[in-house]
Chain A
Amino acid sequence: MQALLFILFAGLAIGCAISMVAQRNPLYSAISLIGVFIALACLYVTLAAPFIAAVQVIVYAGAIMVLVVFVIMLLNVEEPERQPMRLRSLVPIAVMLAAVLFAEAVFIIYFVQASPATPTRNVSDVGLTRSIGEGLFTTYLLPFEITSILLLMAIVGAMTLARTSGLLSSRAAVVPGDQVFAKEMLDRQKYVDLLTPVTAHSTEEAKRLLGVEDQDQSPKP
């Protein structure tokens, strides 16, 4: 029964992985990758690791892949035409090297049998949420805290990469012409009467009113 489940989910994982590499459309690749993640989560369950299985589905198949699919749909690149393969002369050498690698793998699988016996599994509490929590907050407290710093760095890095310049985001770029700004952003000492909207007639005037400097001075390509 266990072997049947392993073969089922391993086949599913490998099939989805090959499909992911073979697809040309990134969206289909993403969906195949979600299949791989689900199959791996099922394998984790058979390995008596239910917590990791749940986290696999929630974090990988949920959060990360939603982010990837979101970016794919946001960028929405049309299919490029097939380019001719460069370095075509190297193909026979690549095939030969692949054959050598395959021969090595076969050699190792058939002739290296003297591996130590693996211990047998029996019922234990390894993999339960309780034991993982205890390990995470006692023995492995320092890596856990370092992980939080890593996440903070990821947040700051993503924000820095996402916005282009200065106080204003790229969406709220200051454009020439008549434009009304949010009153909270303006200098309150200078404009006591906050009930009337303030109008700027040029980019420089808007920048002066907002008190921001455009950091991105280089012209866009």
Chain B
Amino acid sequence: MTPQLSWYLALSAVLFTIGVVGVMIKRNVISMFMCIELMLNAVNLTFVAFSSFFRDLSGQLFVFIVMTVAAAEAAVGLGIIIAIFRNRESLDVDDASTLKL
């Protein structure tokens, strides 16, 4: 019995849902950030599964670009987190409820 495409899609959906739940229930900015990374990875799994089952290269190239975006997001996002912490001495998202830094 070999794994079907639907198995991978189900796993991806489960991981994405866990990421969404994490973003909603977490208060720490860094934890929310990591949950967003988890969602990106769930989508990457979908891409790779489709690419492998349909034998099309485009999905894996897209994963490559998504990883680049995630790296850029990590750099800028963590910079923003440090800037917020410098100004507010807190990582709680409820403390950073205004756009003003």
| Interface residues in chain A, defined as those with a beta carbon under 8 Å from any beta carbon in chain B | 2-3, 6, 10, 13-14, 17-18, 20-21, 26, 29-30, 33, 36-37, 40, 43-44, 46-49, 51-52, 55-56, 59-60, 63-64, 67-68, 71-72, 74-75, 77, 80, 115, 118-119, 121, 124, 126-127, 131-132, 135-136, 140, 143-144, 147, 150-151, 153-155, 157-158, 161-162, 164, 221
Contacts and interface: CB of A to CB of B under 8 A. Distances in A.
A interface secondary structure, majority: helix
A80 B26 CA distance: 13
A19 B34 CA distance: 12
Interface of B: 1-8, 11, 14-15, 18-19, 21-22, 25-26, 28, 30-31, 33-35, 37-38, 41, 44-45, 48-49, 51-58, 60-61, 63-65, 67-76, 78-83, 85-87, 90-92
B interface secondary structure, majority: helix
A68 B31 CA distance: 10
Contacts of B19: 17
Contacts, number: 185
Given A60-B37, A60-B41, A135-B61, 10 more contacts: A20-B38, A52-B60, A59-B67, A68-B74, A71-B81, A124-B55, A147-B65, A155-B75, A161-B79, A164-B86
Contact of A21 (B25, B37, B54): B25
B37 A64 contact: yes
Given A48-B52, A75-B82, A150 B69 contact: yes
B15 A67 contact: no
Contacts of A26: 28, 30-31, 34
